[in-house]
Structure 1
Amino acid sequence: MDSKQLKLSTFDDALNHIHDNMVLGIGSGSTIELLVPKIADKVEREGLDLIGVCTSNKTDYIAKERGLKIVDVNDVDHVDVAIDGADEIDGHLNLIKGGGGALFREKVIDSMARKFIVVADESKTVDYLGQTFKLPVEVDKFNWLLIAKRIEKDKNVKAIRRMADDVPFITDNGNYILDLVLYDKINPYEMHEYLIHLIGVLETGYFLDTAEEAIVGTQDGVKIQYKDE
């Protein structure tokens, strides 16, 4: 199966977490864009009363187009379940996210959730974070270059401002993304603490100790991993 088929194979298990009278956090990225129509079909088929909060403007648009009831995150005081993708998943269910540039909003909603579930294909599983994917860091446009130089001076990394069609990529929050090439196996907890205290850094793409379950599509079938399993 190709990566799309592997993603699709995870959806039945993910949809089993969606029930009546719940607030659902809906993530971002290619996997979630495939999942949203399946969520809408389930809501319509079963007549569910469901409220959604989305981690990006794009997901918000897709969900509303499919008839889902979507509200602003400030209009809810909790999220029952959040379902999102990931760019990397390690053996402890720690993640790197932000390949789509929505890492701040993803972290807000995923951290609010009583249960945060990750859906992905097997290519996202790694031995350690940073093994295959750059670490996204959302930064203010005002001092982005100073931040990049500071990080490169202090750490063995390369900080690259993300571009899209030859212009700087802008997040839904109006900021830049620095993608950090991690040359070494870095302690994610220490790196996050270092980065988050730099003036101008809004958030990092490390999602540590937040996911409780990962539903992973593999060539040998769907595998479900639980935190600290």
Structure 2
Amino acid sequence: MAEEAKKLAGYAAVDNHVQNNQVVGVGSGSTIVYAVDRLAERVRQEKLNIVCVPTSFQARQLILQHGLTLSDLDRHPELDVAIDGADEVDAALTLIKGGGGCLTQEKIVAGCAKHFIVIADFRWTDTCGSMTWGKEGLLGPGSAVPMAYVPVSRTIAKRFGGEAVLRMAVSKAGPVVTDNSNFILDWKFEHAQNWKEVNTAIKMIPGVVETGLFVGMAERVYFGMEDGSVRVRDPPVI
């Protein structure tokens, strides 16, 4: 049921937001697989001229496997649309991302897009926080010494409560290493926060590269529902 819901959301996003002669940011995670399937199908059937910019190694492989045109932000620094998944979405379209460990590249690509579209399934909440979320971080690109994760985790817990822990790998010994060779801290917070303020404050902690909070970035979210429908959510009118 969840996989079919992901497919519904992915297909709806691609059908409604991808047009000929566009540069498309391709997100990461299990939901995006269906979006790329549909994108490749449309490229073949409609002879579309589409250039794809990936957010991760996984996204890059998906693009190549489907025979789509691969590019990067050096050649295409401005994207027409970026499509990505989310671990959680609240009523204001604040996203929690980072379950797949690609959040920094995902946020960079989303920030370069004129339109940022999100796809998810029915397992979502109106309040961010039922899941943990990640902060990719620690040192600059290329550094192999995770010297900052202990002070960063202590600072987050002291200022905002809860607990920030180093994410450990499942199929290897040691911590998860991101596509940028950084570590991820998962913060298990105790209550809802002002996410815009928290996002800014955490990013100012020395050693943090990026947060998994995407605040004020999503233009629209497509939710694949259990009954086979697709629910659309736009940002609230202020």
CA-atom RMSD in angstroms: 1.2
Q: TM-score, normalised by structure 1?
A: 0.95
Q: Select which of 198, 213, 225 maps to 2:233.
A: 225
Counterpart of 1:11 in structure 2: which amino acid?
G
- Native 8 Å contact 2:90 2:127 kept in 1: yes
- Native 8 Å contact 2:36 2:63 kept in 1: yes
Corresponding position of 2:209 = 202
Distance in 1, matches of 2:102 and 2:10, equals: 22
Q: Select which of 127, 130, 137 maps to 1:139.
A: 137
Cα shift at 1:225:
1.2
Show CA shifts across 1:151-201 (max 9, x none). Answer: 222221211111112420000000000000011111111211210000110
Show CA shifts across 1:24-67 (max 9, x none). Answer: 01000000123212211211111111101011011101211210
Corresponding position of 2:141 = none
Cα shift at 1:11:
3.0
Higher strand share: 1
SS of equivalent to 2:59: helix
SS of equivalent to 2:31: helix
Counterpart of 2:236 in structure 1: which amino acid?
D
Corresponding position of 2:82 = 82
Distance in 1, matches of 2:163 and 2:98, equals: 17
Counterpart of 2:134 in structure 1: which amino acid?
P
- Native 8 Å contact 2:11 2:38 kept in 1: no
Cα shift at 1:12:
3.1
Distance in 1, matches of 2:162 and 2:133, equals: 10
Counterpart of 2:177 in structure 1: which amino acid?
I
Corresponding position of 1:93 = 93
SS of equivalent to 1:37: helix
SS of equivalent to 2:92: coil
Distance in 1, matches of 2:126 and 2:6, equals: 20
Structure 1 residue runs without a partner (length 5+) = none
Distance in 1, matches of 2:165 and 2:147, equals: 16
- Native 8 Å contact 1:7 1:120 kept in 2: yes
Corresponding position of 2:163 = 158
Map 1:16-95 onto structure 2 (within 5 A): 16=15, 17-95=17-95
- Runs of 4+ with >3 A deviation: none
Counterpart of 1:174 in structure 2: which amino acid?
S
- Native 8 Å contact 2:85 2:119 kept in 1: yes
**Identity of matched residues, %:** 35
Distance in 1, matches of 2:10 and 2:178, equals: 27
Distance in 2, matches of 1:142 and 1:72, equals: 30
- Native 8 Å contact 1:129 1:188 kept in 2: no
Q: How many residues of Structure 1 are paired with residues of Structure 2 in the alignment?
A: 226
Structure 2 residue runs without a partner (length 5+) = 139-145
SS of equivalent to 1:136: strand
